[in-house]
Amino acid sequence: MADRKRSVGRFGDGARFLRSLMSSPHLTGAVAPSGRALARAMADAAGPPERGLVVELGPGTGPVTQALIDRGLDPLRLVMVEFNPEFCRLLRGRFPTARVIQGDAYDLPKTLAPLSREPIAAFVSSLPLLTRPPAVRETLIGDAFALMGEGGVFVQFTYGLLSPIPRDMCEGRYAVSRGRPILANLPPARVWAYRLEAGVARRAPSQPRRKETRR
């Protein structure tokens, strides 16, 4: 019975992703939720850390969220940043003790302002980074590390072969580890983990973006 419910749930989640992709293709990175093998690999790359919050960017319907919890992360230490209001409602129902913030993951200083007094240990991202210009990706990871304490990690998956943060932007600043291809996922994916190089100082977060006003 439980397996049947999970199968029905995954089918429904796939339909939600497809609707989101059709309505907002630049905001949805996949046609289906992350598979269990990919979700476990992302949770393994994140730790979970012993202390501090784990911020998940673009959790969608929550497969990576569940993997993080299964890996031992207390849901009270979990913060999810999701833009899609339908996914936010779904996540609040599935993970009632975790925090869900409906907001822009590409504007972390503004979106995570309510957490300014709480230490962040890791970011786990399912954002479609390769659809964004390199400068936007550089700002995102820079802001993430500016908000984390020492030893923080930024975890990202991609379907591409190259690092989603361009190599020239990582050189001399981020230590990069690349996981093996996860062939069980459809399409095959790879998990990347970024950490600040030893001796590299964290910079200040960028200024929150202001909404453009039309004249």
Give mean pLDDT in consecutive 10-residue pieces for the chain, a chain of 215 residues.
48 56 53 80 94 96 96 97 96 98 97 94 96 95 94 94 94 95 92 93 76 44
Tokens 């089918």, residue located? 11
Model confidence, pTM: 0.83
Check residue 111 and give its pLDDT: 98
The amino acid present at 80, given as its one-letter code, is M
Q: Tell whether omega for the bond before 48 is within 30 degrees of 0, i.e. cis.
A: yes
Give the end-to-end CA distance of the chain in Å, rounded to a whole number: 57
Check residue 212 and give its pLDDT: 47
Check residue 5 and give its pLDDT: 45
Superfamily for the 17-196 domain: Vaccinia Virus protein VP39 (3.40.50.150)
Angle separating helix axes 36-46 and 63-70, nearest 10 degrees:
50
